[in-house]
Every structure is written in structure tokens, then in C-alpha cells.
Amino acid sequence: MKKILVIGTGGTIASKQMGEGLSPALSAPEILTFVPEVKKYCEIDVLQICNIDSTNVSPAIWQDIAGAIEKNYDGYDGFVILHGTDTMAYTSAALSYMIQNSRKPIVITGAQKPINIDGTDAKVNLRDSILYACDDYSQNIVLVFDGNVIAGTRAKKMMARSFNAFHSVNFPILARIQEEHIIRYIPYIPMRERVRFFTELSDSVCVLKMIPGMKEGMLAYLFENYDCIIIESFGVGGIPDNMLDKFYEEMEKWQEMGKFIVMATQVVNEGSNMEIYQVGQKIKKDFNLIEAYDMTLEATITKLMVLLKRYTSYPDLRRSFYEEINYDILCAFERV
């Protein structure tokens, strides 16, 4: 029988109604008492990292989770992380870059309603997650929610309250779980390389969301405090004309200082392509800008947090950014 380590971090799945609203109160062992049937799948041990609302999740929590998995990696066949939904997509993306080439499944799940109330989705999500973690053809970091198995780098919370809260963005779901059956859509390709852990994270990544009429000095202001700025532009990507003069004036200086700009889009589906319009094509070619293409914002942010700790040169960081990790990006033409 396989051994699974369940890691508790809090979230709605662990919450109870308190005087001022829902708040995490149940420990991971208490949560498991609501799904006694999972004992038929595997042996389960439990580790409580924290018990917080996921709004309060930070990179330090990701480091604690990754560190716990690294410490216990050889002793278990898989891992299930109980997590709040609000930042679950960030955590699943972060762990995808912090724990690479895992032959063992690392599953992240949670719920839209606490496990101790009627009509909760928590029991099904937890049961599905443990079932998936026990399967011989499961590997890498995934998010399991409402029967969907989503690559850790492709998950995004799209619904605030509905049970089908998470969607797979710009990539198919990996599998569907129905009545204890796993229906796979992506062929299983065993990991050939050994697992690698990258637990250092940069705190110098910032997102600038473009709005019409934004002041031209915003980039210079942000670069005083951050080494990497992700610009969430409009449509397929570009810089507004009123910011271009300042951009050209300062960009060479920023690059000489070791600063990085990554272009992304505010549009969730289909991704960016700066080659389409003049407002994007020229600046991308002039400065060899990195573009996020079809990546989620959560994946873009967390990938850069890992890479900034590994690389200081622009060519090295750019090359590594375009290397596919856990299905995160489709842009083979950039891998030169």
C-alpha cells in the first residue's frame, strides 16, 4: 500500500464559522476524519505547516512547503497539500518551479466550502486528490479541484464561489476524475531526470497593470525598488505611445543595471503576441524583450522569482524563462 503525506496549510477547507466570519480552525488530522474512506487507498501521515487564510500566504510559506517535501521526499509515494483557494494558483505555480522533475505526484487542493458543513465540495476534492496521488501514472505538481486535474502552472481561479473555481488556462486539463476513475487526456511520459529543488526566491518581482492614461514615470519609479517588472499590457501586448519616449530613454540604462522587463497581457485566454501590432513589435525587437505569451500571470511571477535567484545575466535568464516547465509555456520558436 502506498504512503501519502498530507500537508495542512489552512484555507476554507479547514475553516469554521467564528464570530467575525469563516476562519481556519481545523487541523489536517481533523479534516481527514471527514473522509474515512480514503484509508482504503493508502497509508496517510499528516504534517501541519500552518493554519491560515490563503490571503496571508507568502513566499516564505512556499519555502516551508517545498522544504517539507524535500525533507520527506524519499519516505512517501506522493503528497497532498490542503490550501485555501484565493492563492492556490500562485502556490501550485511556485511549487512547479521550486520542485522540478518530480516523479512523485504533488497535489494541491482545497474547497469553496468548509469540510464540516452540508453541501461542501471539500470531501470530494480531498478524496479525488488522494486517489490521484496514489495512481501509478501520476507525477509532478498538479491542482485537483471539482474533478479536474490541472497542471500546476496552468491553474487560475476564475470563480469566486462556484465549485468549478479553477480553470486550466491555454492548455487542456491533464485528467478528469469521476467516481474513483481517472480519465487522462495528456499521455503519461515518465520523468527521466532526478527531482531538483530550488527553494530560494527573489522578492524583487513586481507587476505593473497598464491602464489608459498611465503616467510615463511609473516604470522608473518601480525600478527604484524592484529588479524585474512584469508589464500587463492590453490585448496582445504593447506600450502606449505616451510612455514610449521615456521607455526608450531609460531602457538601456535599466538593462545595464541588471533590471528586467517581461511583457504579458491582461487578457486571460490565448496569450500575448507583440509581433502583431507596431506598438509592440518595435520595442520587442529593439530591446529583445522577454514575452510571457500564453503563460498565466501566476506562473510568470513565480518563475521569475526562482530564476532571479539563479541567473544575473539577461541572456541566461531569457533562455531559462523560455524553457518549458510543467507545461507552462508554448513558444518553441523563442528557444534559441
Q: Which residues are catalytic?
A: 12
Residue-wise burial string across 252-291, b where 16 or more C-beta atoms lie within 10 A, e elsewhere? eebeeeebbbbbbbeeeeebbbbeeeebbeebbeebebbb
In DSSP terms, 45 is beta-bridged to 5
Maximum Cα interatomic distance, the chain, rounded to a whole number of Å? 65
What is the phi-psi region of residue 261: left when phi exceeds 0, alpha when psi lies from -120 to 50, beta otherwise? beta
- Amino acid type, 79: F
Kindly list the distances between the CA atom of residue 322 and the CA atoms of 188, 307, 329, 331, in Å, as whole numbers in the listed order. 23, 11, 7, 7
- Amino acid type, 117: I
Q: Going by C-beta distance under 8 Å and a sequence separation of 6 or more, which residues neighbour residue 334?
A: 291, 293, 322
- Count Cα atoms within 13 angstroms, Cβ side, for 293: 16
Total Cβ atoms within 10 A of residue 106: 27
Distance CA 171, CA 156 (A): 12
DSSP string computed for 92-123: HHHHHHHEES-SSEEEEE--SS-TTSTT-SHH
**3-class state of residue 278 by DSSP:** helix
Distance CA 51, CA 278 (A): 49
